[in-house]
Amino acid sequence: MTTEPRPVATGADVALKAACDHLLGLQSAEGWWKAELQTNVTMDAEDLLLREFLGVRTPEDTAEAARWIRSEQREDGSWANFHDGPGDLSTTIEAYAALRLAGDPADARHMRSAAAFVRRNGGIEGSRVFTRIWLALFGQWPWTDLPVMPPELVFLPPWFPFNVYDWACWARQTIVPLTIVSARRPVRPLPFDLDELRTGRMPRRRPRLGWDGFFGALDRALHRYERRPVPGLRRAALRRAAEWIVARQEPDGSWGGIQPPWVYSLIALHLSGYGLDHPVMRRGLAGLDRFTIRDERGRRLEACQSPVWDTALAVNALRDADLPADHPALVRAAGWLLDEEVKGPGDWTVRRPSLPPGGWAFEFDNDGYPDTDDTAEVILALRRVAGPDARPAIDRGLRWMAGMASRDGGFAAFDADNTRELCTRLPFCDFGAVIDPPTADVTAHVVEALAHECPPGSDDVLRRAVVWLLRAQEPDGSWFGRWGANHVYGTGAVLPALVAAGVRPHRPCVRRAVAWLERHQNDDGGWGEDLRSYRDPDWIGRGHSTPSQTAWALIGLLAAGERSAAVDRGVEWLVGAQRADGTWDEPYFTGTGFPGDFYINYHLYRLVFPISALGRYLGSEIP
């Protein structure tokens, strides 16, 4: 239970001012904030492979990318998917292939070490399907031994199983171009082979019983069809798929503002006859430059960019720190956010055809895919700034966001009712989340926004979302975090939402969550949760203390009314870990792309969330 308030942790106010000063210094002249979105070296390896396939790879880009890839290699020869994580087979294979492209000889010490890791862990034969697709493009894996995804899928109506809208937006934008690639089956041989990465053991066949047996039989049937497709239907499908891709290119040249559909769309369109001088291809290749970071360690690509998300988080953090609502930095940020409102239709209209548009996307350019998570955070930010008239945009965003509720009352990020789990059983889908069901963290952010700004007629939407959250609570008292690591993120998001929606802090659901957070506080006073918790329950709530995760736990505890020793110790950890420049070090990844497969280090998280936590601890006005 809550104890009597204690004196403010020593230096918390000084730490907060230093952090705010640093954050204000990072704002762009246009009003936005954006920090690096760091992932793993597959982005850089696949960029080199893409450029090799298209014939545009340069020695300069290759040398810089190779320097970065080498710098991320682990002592055991592997490459991991997140800082201090275990080596990953497929990531290591792709990094190795890229370094061979860069001229690193197979008998070099670091290459021998990488090849040995690959063989010990199953070789090329044990890699994920997407890695073997890249290898097939260069003749290092037979196309006939890959699952088939026929382009005829684009003709399936939205009500039919396995139509492209059954997949999450990021997956459908990847799968549609891959249907073209799979149908064309190109091979552009490399000047070397990768025999040193093979074990000679073929991938394990799927059982012939149950759903696995059904999908194995379906894949065999598709292979038979692939040998002799209906010519007219195949031509029409390839044409329709290419048109579908072109229609979804963003003004900056990307597809959805993210790497996977971007690279596969360029390959698919190139195979469909789009020359490198075609405007679509020119924009696509040029746009990659804006996602490229160059420094003393080399050249690396961001898988995505997060300016809308970063800016909304920064505004809310500075307001939590009691920066005046009319501060010029906040007014500039609000103006920029208003300009980023998505006012047109997107793929979400397939499930919600009568819903008027509104809301915000994650990136600079992604008008086809606004998301409820960003929309909620932007609404929470705009309502706290005294600047341009944001009310019409807020109202449109609220209406759109409320209209994206799924049938069960919860909220997913990009689509409503994107829950057909059969998609996950296809042999093709062995990497990453491929559907977009409601999650606790997204639903919590929507609940918090609706609780403060509930539009007329949305009371039932809010009530059902709160019920969804209560039902989603884990037996141990925590909530799962889909887009952040992991139960610390989910619990830190849900507690403020429930309290904002009127759930009293003394209620059992809140007390159980508080107890879970207190049980999982580290001895040093901070909180951390390793990304391995997505696959191994023993890691849930366990990990090295990080600034962002410590702040999430504090935000949750403070929302629940806690002014306890645990809170004081968490604040003291933040104060003690702060750097002289006002920010914090955070090498550990705390963001999630695909649970269990793909992770993110948002470089602004280490700053904005501690500011929010310290500001709330010091008693700033909280909406």
Question: Could you list the active site residues?
Answer: 373
Q: Which residue has the tokens 């600047």?
A: 387
Q: Which residue has the tokens 């997949």?
A: 167
Cα 115–Cα 117–Cα 118 angle in degrees, nearest 5 = 65
> Cα(521)–Cα(533) distance, rounded to whole angstroms?
16
State the alpha helices, DSSP H only, in 404-546. 440-453, 459-472, 487-500, 508-519
Residue among 150, 144, 175, 178 nearest 234 (CA): 150
Question: What's the Cα-to-Cα distance from 496 to each of 2, 61, 290, 398, 463, rounded to whole Å?
Answer: 16, 46, 36, 19, 15
Residue among 552, 603, 545 nearest 573 (CA): 545
Phi, psi of 621 (to 5 degrees): -65, 125
Asked whether the beta carbons of 495 and 559 are under 8 A apart, the reply is yes
Asked whether the beta carbons of 538 and 474 are under 8 A apart, the reply is no
Helix crossing, 328-339 with 307-320: angle to 10°? 150
What residues contact 238, with CB distance under 8 A and at least 6 apart?
Answer: 151, 180, 183, 272
Residue 186: burial class (beta carbons within 10 Å; 0-12, 13-18, 19+): middle
Q: Both tokens of residue 403? A: 């209209």
User: Within 10 Å of residue 421's Cβ, how many Cβ atoms?
Assistant: 11
What residues contact 309, with CB distance under 8 A and at least 6 apart?
Answer: 362, 373, 374, 377
Question: How close are the terminal C-alpha atoms of the chain, in Å?
Answer: 24
> Cα(112)–Cα(115) distance, rounded to whole angstroms?
5
Phi, psi of 255 (to 5 degrees): -120, 110
